[in-house]
């Protein structure tokens, strides 16, 4: 039985985007502050800030959420198209 939603075939299965820039900007939090407060390298926070996350590290996500006082749903968005 073939699954029509298989990722193996080339389908438009949507996209995950990261939106911490908006949260940080609205709270006046800098990338340097977030890196120090979350005990995360600046280069990693910079990738999150610029929406260039390639692999999601759930520990880093939890630390970012803790410092920004938000939930993962505030940061990660899924769009079908």
Indicate the domain borders of the chain.
15-79
Q: Do residues 34 and 64 lie in contact, with contact meaning Cβ atoms separated by under 8 Å? A: yes
Q: How far, in Å, CA of 4 to CA of 10, rounded?
A: 11
pLDDT of residue 10: 61
Residue 7 to residue 64: CA distance in whole angstroms = 29
Regarding pTM above 0.75, the answer is yes
CATH superfamily of 15-79: lambda repressor-like DNA-binding domains (1.10.260.40)
Q: What is the pLDDT of residues 35-73, one digit of tens each?
A: 999 999 999 999 999 999 989 999 999 999 999 999 999
């Amino acid at each position: 039985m073939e699954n029509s939603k298989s990722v193996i075939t080339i389908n438009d299965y949507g996209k995950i985007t990261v939106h911490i820039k908006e949260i940080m900007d609205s709270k006046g939090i800098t990338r340097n502050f977030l890196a120090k407060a979350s005990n995360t390298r600046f280069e990693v926070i910079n990738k999150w800030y610029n929406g260039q996350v390639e692999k999601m590290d759930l520990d880093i996500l939890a630390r970012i959420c803790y410092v920004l006082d938000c939930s993962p749903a505030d940061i990660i968005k899924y769009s079908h198209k």
